[in-house]
Structure 1
């Protein structure tokens, strides 16, 4: 049976919970992953018999339906997809920038060494017997060899660095998978519409955001909100049905990365893991390209030097030894061993050496390699900027639905405070009315 005391009591309970919900919103206004909550209230109907009508329905106060989270599924999916693309582009750009730095002249001095080599050869044409110039020529050869071997070491270190970063990322990814399954267990036990369920859903979405930023994944949900997670594209199961399938990463000899889940290979087109895989491929390509250039340039310079004759009239020796950038070294030559002359003149070989400069000379080959890397890095930078802008826009659209507006919460706080006071006043009026009736007896 409905009565004023019952109606007032239901109002106190409902508006007390509403005030607590507003308080949670205000307290978590800056909490990442928190979705604004709203307490859903409905009219509670009291049914009973009257003298004229059986099962008469009349107002019975207010009842709590549960807590709703302010979320938009489409905006969430869009934000996750764009954040994965941004993470991929950002990770790839980071490593490509490092490669560009390793190839730069400030890091290895290769461009300077090659220029000095040809400049000294030009000077030797005017003073072919100068021992100082001969020594400078050999020092430039040593600088070129050291530049190649030093760059090879840096790139090899980057391959190891990418592999280590991917391993750490995989460990975090698997930790997040385990945490997601724990959230699934909690959601299946949580009371629908409760604050606990809302908190678990917030944590579930936060984990899915992180997982989407690490790799391309797709999520589906059951009627309790528990997530089933799969690899995007291949559909390999990561989390679902109480099972968690961890992901593993393997680095090949040249540093290229491969991923497996449950022993099956898979690829990911988004997320930081995709960026690391692309970075590993790029570093491996650069290492192979550096070896090719080292063999090409050392072969050209060796052939040019061996075409001439040294101070004793002996054929010129090879300037470099080694079959790769990492093993390239300058031959142990003395100043008198520099083959300045040719068969007809004392400076003829250095004249021919200087004439190598052109479209296919070592300087141009190295400059072209640097230019290709710079263009690739610039393209990666443009892709990163576009992906970041897209991700920021998607995140802002998602936040416009889910974020807490403190002005709105302040208005709700006043509204529910007044409603709470009104409910308390209803109880007071019921009490005063009952006392008046009893006093009149």
Structure 2
């Protein structure tokens, strides 16, 4: 086992951030803002300057801009040493080094793991896979290069597009493709799109929204295989034997955390990098690793607002809000300072999704809820707020075209508010929201 006291003697002179992601960039900024003046290195696998991912499934797909226009992370970047187009292949905690695919060895005193997650794909037989798709006409939407390739393919005017996976990525892509006037089939294993993420009431609204806009929904039947002709996709065959014709297929099957490079490092890897409340990475025996933190999609940690349930959150806001916590934790580690309970990561994340002319917004972690109830609005109007509870605690809320009340419910969740809540009148929540602006 490596020396667990290595690198904690005062503020480190070398901090390495692995992952030029939102979490990685924001953590680097937070380190500089907190006064860290030592060497700061950011390692990124892609050749591009850091960029924002949410627009890739929305306006970027439908825009007429050239390849050089992309949703950049527009904040001024800190003074860092950039290592782009470099892939981390191994973490050596004995020597405190990150080994790259080029053979380079990057030493560190403090380490930020922010490698995010990668899109799942399918084998030809329909089983989940982590390798890129091989058939022509099959696309993912995770990176900027993925989005550029899909945008080019859509401009060539495919006869029919099939989107496999009806989570946020799949539904947003389906809406974007349909706005281009192309025929779209949306395929998902649940009874309605987004059912696992937003509950049945909002999912039913999303289903109606897509049908109204001309999308062919095929829900509740898993994919059996992708059929190809001469190496090019021709159809998606479902488990009930139905074949959906498609000359372009987009896979939106969720993600897996990018932890392959950490195998053999001694870190505890369980659906991501396991961390404690302060985002310190853990050894296999559950004790924290000195001077190593994780942030963003890749980290799984016990959330004190949810009875220390282990969560891994892939929302944009989670990555942005975890960054200063990870930076503060790392600087405390390197200075040998203790970690105050108030510094623990207890984020109540927010999320939004634009589909056609409708906006979905969520706060908290609705997927942890075991019960749900309508808090405001009504399903026929398409304007509603649904709350989610687990036991005696409210854990999340989702709104459709009603952003105002969510400020109230976010505060309720942050306070550990009870479930079911005392439901306010709509005019009260609007007034409460206005007072916070």
TM-score, length-scaled by structure 2: 0.21
The structure showing larger relative contact order (alpha-carbon pairs under 8 Å, at least 6 residues apart) is 1
In the superposition, the TM-score normalised over structure 1's length comes to: 0.21
